[in-house]
Structure 1
Amino acid sequence: EPVSNGNLPPGFDPSTCRSVYVGNVHPNVTESLLIEVFQGSGPVERCKLIRKEKSSFGFVDYYDRRSAALAIMTLHGRHIYGQAIKVNWAYASTQREDTSGHFHIFVGDLSSEVNDATLYACFSTYPSCSDARVMWDNKTGRSRGYGFVSFRNQQRKLKLL
Protein backbone atom coordinates (compact mmCIF):
# COMPACT_ATOMS: atom_id res chain seq x y z
CA GLU A 1 0.00 0.00 0.00
CA PRO A 2 1.52 3.35 -0.97
CA VAL A 3 2.46 5.93 1.60
CA SER A 4 1.23 9.41 0.74
CA ASN A 5 3.95 11.45 -0.92
CA GLY A 6 2.18 14.75 -0.57
CA ASN A 7 -0.81 16.54 0.83
CA LEU A 8 -4.04 14.64 1.31
CA PRO A 9 -7.09 16.15 2.91
CA PRO A 10 -8.01 14.95 6.39
CA GLY A 11 -10.44 12.07 6.14
CA PHE A 12 -9.52 11.22 2.53
CA ASP A 13 -10.00 7.50 2.03
CA PRO A 14 -7.87 6.06 -0.79
CA SER A 15 -9.52 2.64 -0.37
CA THR A 16 -12.21 3.65 -2.87
CA CYS A 17 -10.10 5.88 -5.12
CA ARG A 18 -9.24 4.63 -8.60
CA SER A 19 -7.63 7.83 -9.92
CA VAL A 20 -4.14 9.26 -9.66
CA TYR A 21 -2.84 12.79 -10.07
CA VAL A 22 0.24 13.18 -12.28
CA GLY A 23 2.22 16.38 -11.77
CA ASN A 24 5.36 17.95 -13.16
CA VAL A 25 4.63 16.59 -16.65
CA HIS A 26 7.01 17.76 -19.39
CA PRO A 27 5.28 19.82 -22.14
CA ASN A 28 6.20 17.23 -24.81
CA VAL A 29 4.24 14.46 -23.07
CA THR A 30 0.95 13.52 -24.76
CA GLU A 31 -2.12 11.78 -23.36
CA SER A 32 -1.30 8.70 -25.42
CA LEU A 33 2.22 8.58 -23.93
CA LEU A 34 0.80 8.92 -20.41
CA ILE A 35 -1.61 6.06 -21.09
CA GLU A 36 1.26 3.95 -22.41
CA VAL A 37 3.37 4.62 -19.29
CA PHE A 38 0.53 4.17 -16.79
CA GLN A 39 -1.05 1.06 -18.29
CA GLY A 40 1.98 -0.85 -17.04
CA SER A 41 0.29 -0.67 -13.62
CA GLY A 42 -3.07 -1.89 -14.91
CA PRO A 43 -5.76 -1.19 -17.50
CA VAL A 44 -6.40 2.56 -17.86
CA GLU A 45 -10.03 3.67 -18.10
CA ARG A 46 -9.23 7.23 -19.21
CA CYS A 47 -6.57 9.91 -19.08
CA LYS A 48 -6.84 13.70 -19.03
CA LEU A 49 -3.83 15.98 -19.55
CA ILE A 50 -4.03 19.67 -18.65
CA ARG A 51 -1.40 21.63 -20.52
CA LYS A 52 0.52 24.49 -18.94
CA GLU A 53 3.40 26.49 -20.40
CA LYS A 54 6.24 25.06 -18.34
CA SER A 55 4.83 22.02 -16.56
CA SER A 56 1.58 20.24 -17.32
CA PHE A 57 -0.41 17.91 -15.05
CA GLY A 58 -3.07 15.28 -15.51
CA PHE A 59 -5.24 12.55 -14.12
CA VAL A 60 -5.26 8.85 -14.88
CA ASP A 61 -8.34 6.81 -14.02
CA TYR A 62 -8.01 3.07 -13.57
CA TYR A 63 -10.71 0.40 -13.53
CA ASP A 64 -9.58 -0.71 -10.08
CA ARG A 65 -7.99 0.76 -6.95
CA ARG A 66 -5.13 -1.73 -6.91
CA SER A 67 -3.80 -0.50 -10.26
CA ALA A 68 -3.90 3.11 -9.02
CA ALA A 69 -1.99 2.13 -5.85
CA LEU A 70 0.62 0.29 -7.93
CA ALA A 71 1.04 3.35 -10.19
CA ILE A 72 1.75 5.55 -7.16
CA MET A 73 4.32 3.13 -5.79
CA THR A 74 6.13 2.46 -9.06
CA LEU A 75 5.81 5.65 -11.13
CA HIS A 76 6.31 8.49 -8.65
CA GLY A 77 9.68 10.04 -9.52
CA ARG A 78 9.94 8.35 -12.92
CA HIS A 79 11.60 10.54 -15.53
CA ILE A 80 9.78 11.30 -18.76
CA TYR A 81 11.72 13.57 -21.13
CA GLY A 82 14.21 14.13 -18.32
CA GLN A 83 11.60 15.42 -15.87
CA ALA A 84 10.57 13.49 -12.73
CA ILE A 85 6.79 13.12 -12.55
CA LYS A 86 4.86 13.28 -9.29
CA VAL A 87 2.16 10.65 -8.79
CA ASN A 88 -0.33 10.63 -5.93
CA TRP A 89 -3.97 9.90 -5.18
CA ALA A 90 -6.34 12.24 -7.02
CA TYR A 91 -8.99 13.96 -4.95
CA ALA A 92 -11.34 16.89 -5.40
CA SER A 93 -10.52 20.03 -3.49
CA THR A 94 -14.23 20.20 -2.62
CA GLN A 95 -13.57 17.37 -0.15
CA ARG A 96 -12.15 20.05 2.16
CA GLU A 97 -14.36 22.25 4.29
CA ASP A 98 -14.33 26.00 3.55
CA THR A 99 -12.32 27.45 6.44
CA SER A 100 -12.21 31.09 5.35
CA GLY A 101 -14.38 32.15 8.31
CA HIS A 102 -12.64 29.88 10.81
CA PHE A 103 -9.92 30.62 13.36
CA HIS A 104 -6.36 29.59 12.43
CA ILE A 105 -3.22 28.83 14.38
CA PHE A 106 0.35 28.52 13.12
CA VAL A 107 2.20 25.27 13.91
CA GLY A 108 5.96 25.23 13.38
CA ASP A 109 8.97 22.96 13.69
CA LEU A 110 7.20 20.06 11.98
CA SER A 111 9.08 16.92 10.98
CA SER A 112 9.41 16.32 7.24
CA GLU A 113 7.21 13.21 7.63
CA VAL A 114 4.19 15.23 8.82
CA ASN A 115 1.48 15.71 6.17
CA ASP A 116 -2.01 17.24 6.36
CA ALA A 117 -3.65 14.10 7.70
CA THR A 118 -1.01 13.65 10.42
CA LEU A 119 -1.28 17.25 11.54
CA TYR A 120 -5.07 17.05 11.55
CA ALA A 121 -4.97 13.87 13.65
CA CYS A 122 -2.93 15.70 16.32
CA PHE A 123 -5.61 18.38 16.74
CA SER A 124 -8.75 16.36 15.99
CA THR A 125 -9.32 15.78 19.71
CA TYR A 126 -10.70 19.33 19.72
CA PRO A 127 -14.29 19.12 18.39
CA SER A 128 -14.04 22.43 16.54
CA CYS A 129 -10.95 21.40 14.55
CA SER A 130 -11.92 21.68 10.89
CA ASP A 131 -8.74 21.40 8.81
CA ALA A 132 -4.95 21.22 8.88
CA ARG A 133 -2.51 22.11 6.14
CA VAL A 134 1.22 21.62 5.94
CA MET A 135 3.03 24.06 3.67
CA TRP A 136 5.06 22.42 0.89
CA ASP A 137 7.82 23.69 -1.36
CA ASN A 138 6.51 23.29 -4.93
CA LYS A 139 9.99 23.02 -6.41
CA THR A 140 11.39 20.34 -4.11
CA GLY A 141 8.13 18.66 -3.03
CA ARG A 142 9.35 18.78 0.59
CA SER A 143 7.63 20.13 3.65
CA ARG A 144 8.56 23.65 4.71
CA GLY A 145 8.32 22.54 8.33
CA TYR A 146 5.23 24.50 9.27
CA GLY A 147 1.49 24.54 8.76
CA PHE A 148 -1.86 25.93 9.86
CA VAL A 149 -4.71 24.35 11.79
CA SER A 150 -8.28 25.69 11.49
CA PHE A 151 -11.00 25.68 14.13
CA ARG A 152 -14.72 26.40 13.68
CA ASN A 153 -14.88 28.12 17.08
CA GLN A 154 -12.34 30.24 18.91
CA GLN A 155 -11.20 28.50 22.08
CA ARG A 156 -9.87 30.52 24.98
CA LYS A 157 -7.18 27.97 25.85
CA LEU A 158 -5.58 25.42 23.60
CA LYS A 159 -3.68 23.14 25.90
CA LEU A 160 -1.02 21.04 24.20
CA LEU A 161 1.12 18.36 25.76
Structure 2
Amino acid sequence: MGSGEPNIAGKKKKYLKAALYVGDLGPEVTEDMLYKKFRPAGPLRFTRICRDPVTHSPLGYGYVNFRFPADAEWALNTMNFDLINGKPFRLMWSQPDDRLRKSGVGNIFIKHLDKSIDNRTLFYLFSAFGNILSCKVVCDDNGSKGYAYVHFDSLAAANRAIWHMNGVWLNNRQVYV
Protein backbone atom coordinates (compact mmCIF):
# COMPACT_ATOMS: atom_id res chain seq x y z
CA MET A 1 0.00 0.00 0.00
CA GLY A 2 3.00 2.30 0.09
CA SER A 3 3.28 5.25 2.43
CA GLY A 4 -0.44 5.06 3.21
CA GLU A 5 0.03 1.72 5.01
CA PRO A 6 -2.14 1.86 8.16
CA ASN A 7 -0.64 1.28 11.59
CA ILE A 8 -1.32 -1.93 13.51
CA ALA A 9 -4.44 -0.50 15.20
CA GLY A 10 -5.76 0.54 11.79
CA LYS A 11 -5.13 -2.94 10.40
CA LYS A 12 -7.01 -4.53 13.30
CA LYS A 13 -9.94 -2.15 12.82
CA LYS A 14 -10.08 -2.89 9.08
CA TYR A 15 -9.82 -6.62 9.80
CA LEU A 16 -12.80 -6.47 12.18
CA LYS A 17 -14.86 -4.70 9.51
CA ALA A 18 -14.34 -7.73 7.25
CA ALA A 19 -15.41 -10.41 9.76
CA LEU A 20 -18.82 -12.09 9.68
CA TYR A 21 -20.52 -14.23 12.31
CA VAL A 22 -22.17 -17.33 10.80
CA GLY A 23 -24.89 -18.82 12.99
CA ASP A 24 -27.33 -21.75 12.97
CA LEU A 25 -24.73 -24.17 11.63
CA GLY A 26 -25.21 -27.91 11.87
CA PRO A 27 -22.72 -29.95 13.92
CA GLU A 28 -21.26 -31.47 10.75
CA VAL A 29 -20.14 -28.10 9.29
CA THR A 30 -16.36 -27.71 9.11
CA GLU A 31 -14.00 -24.80 8.48
CA ASP A 32 -13.33 -26.21 5.02
CA MET A 33 -17.06 -26.20 4.24
CA LEU A 34 -17.29 -22.54 5.33
CA TYR A 35 -14.25 -21.71 3.21
CA LYS A 36 -15.75 -23.36 0.12
CA LYS A 37 -19.11 -21.65 0.67
CA PHE A 38 -17.71 -18.12 1.14
CA ARG A 39 -14.61 -18.16 -1.10
CA PRO A 40 -16.63 -17.12 -4.20
CA ALA A 41 -17.50 -13.85 -2.39
CA GLY A 42 -13.83 -12.81 -2.25
CA PRO A 43 -10.43 -13.63 -0.76
CA LEU A 44 -10.61 -14.99 2.78
CA ARG A 45 -8.18 -14.61 5.65
CA PHE A 46 -9.58 -17.63 7.49
CA THR A 47 -12.72 -19.42 8.66
CA ARG A 48 -13.36 -20.76 12.13
CA ILE A 49 -15.94 -23.05 13.72
CA CYS A 50 -16.31 -22.34 17.44
CA ARG A 51 -16.11 -25.38 19.71
CA ASP A 52 -16.77 -26.22 23.33
CA PRO A 53 -13.43 -25.93 25.16
CA VAL A 54 -13.96 -29.20 27.05
CA THR A 55 -15.73 -31.53 24.60
CA HIS A 56 -14.50 -29.87 21.39
CA SER A 57 -18.02 -30.29 19.99
CA PRO A 58 -19.12 -27.58 17.53
CA LEU A 59 -21.25 -24.84 19.10
CA GLY A 60 -23.31 -24.15 15.96
CA TYR A 61 -21.59 -20.94 14.92
CA GLY A 62 -18.37 -19.67 13.47
CA TYR A 63 -16.64 -16.79 11.73
CA VAL A 64 -15.60 -15.96 8.19
CA ASN A 65 -12.87 -13.34 7.87
CA PHE A 66 -12.49 -11.69 4.48
CA ARG A 67 -9.47 -9.76 3.25
CA PHE A 68 -11.62 -6.84 2.16
CA PRO A 69 -14.63 -5.27 3.91
CA ALA A 70 -16.48 -4.85 0.59
CA ASP A 71 -16.40 -8.62 0.04
CA ALA A 72 -17.76 -9.23 3.55
CA GLU A 73 -20.52 -6.71 2.93
CA TRP A 74 -21.38 -8.36 -0.39
CA ALA A 75 -21.56 -11.77 1.32
CA LEU A 76 -23.76 -10.38 4.11
CA ASN A 77 -26.15 -8.79 1.62
CA THR A 78 -26.37 -11.71 -0.81
CA MET A 79 -25.66 -14.90 1.14
CA ASN A 80 -27.60 -14.38 4.39
CA PHE A 81 -29.93 -17.37 4.91
CA ASP A 82 -28.26 -19.46 2.17
CA LEU A 83 -27.90 -23.16 2.88
CA ILE A 84 -25.03 -25.35 4.06
CA ASN A 85 -25.94 -29.04 3.99
CA GLY A 86 -29.58 -28.12 3.42
CA LYS A 87 -29.82 -25.90 6.50
CA PRO A 88 -30.12 -22.08 6.34
CA PHE A 89 -27.46 -20.08 8.16
CA ARG A 90 -27.60 -16.56 9.58
CA LEU A 91 -24.97 -13.93 8.86
CA MET A 92 -24.21 -10.76 10.75
CA TRP A 93 -21.23 -8.55 11.32
CA SER A 94 -18.90 -9.93 13.94
CA GLN A 95 -19.33 -7.77 17.04
CA PRO A 96 -16.38 -8.18 19.38
CA ASP A 97 -17.62 -5.41 21.69
CA ASP A 98 -19.56 -7.22 24.44
CA ARG A 99 -21.08 -3.95 25.61
CA LEU A 100 -23.02 -3.47 22.36
CA ARG A 101 -24.04 -7.13 22.12
CA LYS A 102 -25.20 -7.37 25.74
CA SER A 103 -26.51 -3.86 26.37
CA GLY A 104 -30.08 -4.68 25.40
CA VAL A 105 -30.33 -1.34 23.58
CA GLY A 106 -32.15 -1.90 20.31
CA ASN A 107 -33.50 -5.35 21.26
CA ILE A 108 -37.14 -6.16 20.62
CA PHE A 109 -39.23 -9.25 21.32
CA ILE A 110 -41.94 -10.38 18.89
CA LYS A 111 -44.61 -12.85 19.98
CA HIS A 112 -47.58 -14.67 18.47
CA LEU A 113 -45.75 -15.36 15.19
CA ASP A 114 -47.18 -17.82 12.71
CA LYS A 115 -45.03 -20.95 12.40
CA SER A 116 -44.34 -20.13 8.73
CA ILE A 117 -42.30 -17.02 9.68
CA ASP A 118 -38.64 -18.00 9.48
CA ASN A 119 -35.39 -16.08 10.09
CA ARG A 120 -35.20 -14.84 6.49
CA THR A 121 -38.78 -13.53 6.53
CA LEU A 122 -38.27 -11.92 9.93
CA PHE A 123 -35.10 -10.21 8.73
CA TYR A 124 -36.75 -8.76 5.63
CA LEU A 125 -39.88 -7.68 7.51
CA PHE A 126 -37.91 -5.75 10.13
CA SER A 127 -34.96 -4.46 8.07
CA ALA A 128 -37.19 -1.64 6.81
CA PHE A 129 -36.85 0.01 10.23
CA GLY A 130 -33.06 0.07 10.58
CA ASN A 131 -29.83 -1.86 10.57
CA ILE A 132 -30.30 -5.31 12.11
CA LEU A 133 -27.39 -6.70 14.09
CA SER A 134 -29.14 -10.02 14.73
CA CYS A 135 -32.53 -11.62 14.36
CA LYS A 136 -33.72 -15.06 15.35
CA VAL A 137 -36.98 -16.97 15.38
CA VAL A 138 -36.83 -19.29 18.39
CA CYS A 139 -37.29 -22.92 17.37
CA ASP A 140 -37.29 -26.38 18.87
CA ASP A 141 -37.41 -29.81 17.22
CA ASN A 142 -40.98 -29.11 16.05
CA GLY A 143 -40.14 -25.79 14.35
CA SER A 144 -40.97 -22.23 15.37
CA LYS A 145 -42.09 -21.64 18.95
CA GLY A 146 -44.00 -18.53 17.82
CA TYR A 147 -41.66 -15.84 19.09
CA ALA A 148 -38.50 -14.09 17.98
CA TYR A 149 -35.89 -11.48 18.80
CA VAL A 150 -34.52 -8.67 16.65
CA HIS A 151 -31.51 -6.62 17.71
CA PHE A 152 -31.15 -3.27 15.96
CA ASP A 153 -28.07 -1.08 16.08
CA SER A 154 -30.04 1.78 17.63
CA LEU A 155 -32.90 2.46 20.00
CA ALA A 156 -34.53 4.66 17.33
CA ALA A 157 -34.71 1.74 14.87
CA ALA A 158 -36.17 -0.53 17.56
CA ASN A 159 -38.78 2.09 18.43
CA ARG A 160 -39.74 2.48 14.74
CA ALA A 161 -40.21 -1.28 14.48
CA ILE A 162 -42.36 -1.37 17.62
CA TRP A 163 -44.46 1.56 16.42
CA HIS A 164 -45.08 0.10 12.95
CA MET A 165 -45.31 -3.64 13.71
CA ASN A 166 -47.10 -3.96 17.05
CA GLY A 167 -50.58 -5.33 16.38
CA VAL A 168 -49.94 -6.00 12.68
CA TRP A 169 -51.42 -9.14 11.14
CA LEU A 170 -48.86 -11.50 9.59
CA ASN A 171 -50.11 -14.71 7.98
CA ASN A 172 -53.49 -14.45 9.74
CA ARG A 173 -51.98 -13.87 13.19
CA GLN A 174 -51.77 -10.59 15.06
CA VAL A 175 -48.21 -10.12 16.33
CA TYR A 176 -47.13 -8.19 19.38
CA VAL A 177 -43.82 -6.36 19.62
> How does the TM-score come out when normalised to structure 1?
0.53
Say whether the 8 Å CA contact 2:45–2:66 is kept in structure 1: yes
Structure 1: where are the runs of 5+ without partners? 1-13, 120-132, 151-161
> How does the TM-score come out when normalised to structure 2?
0.49
Query: Aligned residue for 1:20?
Result: 20
Say whether the 8 Å CA contact 1:115–1:134 is kept in structure 2: no
Structure 2: where are the runs of 5+ without partners? 1-13, 111-121, 156-177
Query: Aligned residue for 1:89?
Result: 93
Matched, 1:71 2:84: no
Query: Aligned residue for 1:30?
Result: 30
Query: Aligned residue for 1:113?
Result: 126
SS where residue 25 of structure 1 aligns? Answer: coil
Q: Which structure's relative contact order is higher, taking Cα pairs within 8 Å and 6+ residues apart?
A: 1
Corresponding residue pairs, total? 117
Query: Aligned residue for 1:128?
Result: none
Q: 2-side partners of 1:48 and 1:66: how far apart?
A: 20
Query: Aligned residue for 2:61?
Result: 57
Q: 2-side partners of 1:135 and 1:42: how far apart?
A: 25
User: Offset at 1:138?
Assistant: 3.3
Q: Give the RMSD, CA atoms, in angstroms.
A: 4.4
Deviation string 1:3-24 (CA, Å, 9 cap, x unpaired) is xxxxxxxxxxx9x711101001
Say whether the 8 Å CA contact 1:24–1:55 is kept in structure 2: no
Q: 2-side partners of 1:64 and 1:146: how far apart?
A: 25
What is the aligned-residue identity percentage?
Answer: 17
Q: From the superposition, tell whether residues 54 and 82 of structure 1 become closer, same or farther in structure 2 (CA, over 3 Å).
A: farther
Say whether the 8 Å CA contact 1:27–1:51 is kept in structure 2: no
Query: Aligned residue for 1:39?
Result: 39
